[in-house]
């Protein structure tokens, strides 16, 4: 039987289509998942300027965080988590890229995250996730590139209260239906000036007016009496409690939506805060970014896994971890291929109970152009390892602290030459290995942005 030319063409087309379909099926089954029709949701909650040691479940004597404590009781609480820089934009850039600020060339607020870097939101969006970011301060404005990968990103020109940002985030959540989502919620309330709504001020004995009267390098440290310091700390704690209530409301929303057991929840801070610790030493208080002491670097980190068997009071993890570890951890949990350039490591083995390997944690201080004090000239770097903390300043020299015996970092152990030599050697290797991957991003020149940063005390 002879086949017509139309039959030949039809036979060829069907055969080619079959080959293409088979190849597509084969390729889809190879490797780790890049496109996902369903999977665990992801929620990251970042509470700006939240010190780990002012969170109740981290041992603070005041009950500042009942909702965060409840989350910790359902998941994993990391006792030794640190930021890469005690400055909001660079720290969040590290969170979303798993790169250090020096690699990103984002070393102060107002700069831009490089357009070429791959972000967590970008990867999750390409993997089928709805992506929504809701932030509470101008320093996290989309113009700085931190919104890369979020299909919905609601920023603000000034500052927004936690309840206002939360309302926008929950409204977005309710529109997602059954599609897996990645939600980023940024709360700014514990940032200076501290002035929480009632009833939080009354509960913590905070003053009616915003506290403290001054910050950073205060004009006259002697005027900061013990009463002013304690009232200001009470005002800071009241702000934490207010932000904690927003966390509780979001967690309740997830439960009401029926997605609580299908959601990875990560709660952390971008950095800590100096309260009264440095008044005598530097005349400095109620600020962050100028120094690399532990109270500015250590952050709370809590991870609740989906459908994980509950354990009484949760699980405490002592592994040393960095904010750059969050992105590789989430990708690992979701079985999405990692990015080759990531500086962090996945914490999934630790979450599964494996013994963490020893490591060093690195941080750096932001670039300061107009110096409030001459001794801030140059650059500062920090390395934490085995309970030791070395701070190296190109202008002030070296400081060494035993964090186990001296958690407040009062006694500088500069006589420990062997320990200093080992840590400075490792710091040099880190600086050599982690070169900038992107050129200088250029300081934000938009006048409106500059004025907004000045209002928050960032641009001078």
The pLDDT score that the predictor gives to residue 55 is 98
Both structure tokens of 148 = 């890369």
Alpha helices in 35-177 (DSSP H): 66-73, 88-97, 101-104, 120-126, 162-173
Q: For strands 76-82 and 298-304, give the pairing.
A: antiparallel
Q: How many domains does the chain have?
A: 1
The pLDDT score that the predictor gives to residue 384 is 98
Q: Compute the residue count for the chain.
A: 460
Evaluate whether residue 219 is within a structural domain. Answer: yes
Please tell me whether residue 41 adopts helix, strand or coil conformation: strand
Evaluate whether residue 185 is within a structural domain. Answer: yes
Evaluate whether residue 237 is within a structural domain. Answer: yes
Give the Cα separation of 166 and 250 in Å (integer).
7
Cβ-contact 157, 136 below 8 angstroms: no
Strand-pair partners of 303: 76, 266
Instruction: Specify the CATH number for the domain of residue 317.
Output: 3.40.720.10
Evaluate whether residue 136 is within a structural domain. Answer: yes
Beta carbons within 10 angstroms of residue 380's beta carbon = 20
Q: How far is CA 347 from CA 59, 275, 330, 350, in A?
A: 23, 31, 9, 5
Evaluate whether residue 366 is within a structural domain. Answer: no
Q: What is the mean pLDDT of each run of 10 residues along the chain (460 residues)?
A: 42 42 39 55 98 97 97 97 98 98 94 95 97 98 97 97 98 93 98 96 96 91 91 98 98 96 97 96 95 98 87 88 98 95 96 90 92 92 97 93 96 94 93 84 47 53
Domain housing 162: 41-359
CB neighbour list of residue 14: distance below 8 Å, 6 or more residues apart: none
Evaluate whether residue 31 is within a structural domain. Answer: no
Both structure tokens of 379 = 């650059």
Give the Cα separation of 161 and 243 in Å (integer).
9
Closest to 343 measured CA to CA, from 355, 332, 328: 328
Give the Cα separation of 159 and 458 in Å (integer).
13
CB neighbour list of residue 406: distance below 8 Å, 6 or more residues apart: none
Helix, strand and coil percent figures for the chain, each rounded to 5: 35, 20, 45
Closest to 83 measured CA to CA, from 424, 291, 364, 348: 364
What letters, b where the CB count within 10 A reaches 16 and e where it falls short, cover 28-52?
Answer: eeeeeeeebeebbbbbbbbbbbbbb
Please tell me whether residue 170 adopts helix, strand or coil conformation: helix
What letters, b where the CB count within 10 A reaches 16 and e where it falls short, cover 263-287?
Answer: bbbbbbbbbbbbbbbbbeebbbbbb
The pLDDT score that the predictor gives to residue 109 is 94
The pLDDT score that the predictor gives to residue 455 is 60
Evaluate whether residue 424 is within a structural domain. Answer: no
φ and ψ at 231, to 5 degrees?
Answer: -65, -40
CA–chain centroid gap for 340, Å, is 21
Torsion of CA 291, 292, 294, 300, to 10 degrees: 100
Evaluate whether residue 21 is within a structural domain. Answer: no
Strand-pair partners of 263: 41
Closest to 458 measured CA to CA, from 85, 208, 89, 173: 89
DSSP E strands, 95-210? 130-134, 152-154, 181-187
């Amino acid at each position: 039987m002879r086949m017509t030319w139309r039959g030949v063409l039809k036979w060829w087309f069907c055969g080619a289509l079959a080959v293409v379909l088979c190849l597509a099926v084969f390729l889809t089954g190879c490797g780790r998942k890049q496109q996902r029709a369903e999977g665990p949701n992801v929620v990251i909650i970042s509470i700006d300027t939240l010190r780990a040691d002012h969170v109740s479940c981290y041992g603070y004597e005041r009950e500042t965080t009942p909702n965060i404590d409840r989350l910790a009781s359902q998941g994993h609480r990391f006792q030794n988590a640190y930021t890469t820089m005690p400055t909001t934009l660079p720290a969040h850039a590290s969170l979303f890229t798993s790169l250090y600020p020096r690699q990103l060339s984002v070393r102060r607020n107002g700069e831009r995250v490089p357009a070429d870097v791959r972000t967590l939101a970008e990867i999750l969006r390409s993997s089928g996730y709805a992506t929504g970011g809701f932030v509470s301060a101008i320093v996290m404005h989309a113009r700085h590139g931190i919104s890369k990968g979020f299909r919905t990103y609601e920023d603000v020109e000034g500052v927004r209260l936690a309840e206002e940002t939360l309302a926008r985030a929950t409204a977005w959540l309710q529109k997602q239906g059954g599609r897996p989502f990645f939600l980023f919620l940024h709360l700014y309330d514990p940032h200076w000036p501290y002035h929480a709504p009632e009833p939080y001020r009354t509960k913590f004995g905070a003053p009616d007016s915003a506290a403290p009267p001054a910050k950073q390098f205060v004009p006259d440290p002697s005027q900061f009496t013990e009463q002013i310091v304690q009232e200001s700390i009470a005002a800071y704690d009241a702000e934490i409690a207010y932000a904690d209530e927003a966390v509780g409301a979001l967690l309740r929303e997830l439960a009401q939506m029926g997605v609580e057991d299908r959601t990875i929840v990560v709660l952390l801070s971008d950095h800590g805060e100096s309260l009264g610790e440095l008044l005598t030493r530097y005349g400095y208080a109620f600020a962050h970014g100028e120094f690399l002491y532990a109270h500015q670097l250590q952050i709370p980190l809590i991870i609740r896994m989906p459908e994980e068997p509950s354990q009484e009071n949760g699980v405490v993890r002592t592994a040393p971890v960095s904010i750059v570890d969050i992105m590789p951890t989430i990708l690992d949990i979701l079985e999405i291929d990692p990015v080759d350039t990531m500086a962090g490591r996945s914490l999934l083995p630790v979450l599964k109970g494996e013994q963490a390997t020893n490591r060093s944690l690195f941080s750096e201080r932001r670039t300061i152009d107009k110096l409030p004090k001459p001794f801030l000239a140059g650059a500062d770097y920090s390395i934490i390892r085995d309970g030791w903390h070395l701070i190296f300043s190109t202008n002030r020299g070296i400081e060494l602290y035993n964090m186990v015996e001296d958690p407040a970092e009062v006694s500088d152990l500069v006589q420990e030459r062997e320990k200093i030599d080992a840590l400075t050697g490792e710091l040099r290797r880190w600086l050599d290995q982690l070169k900038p991957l992107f050129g200088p991003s250029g300081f934000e020149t938009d006048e409106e942005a500059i004025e907004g940063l000045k209002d928050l005390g960032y641009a001078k």
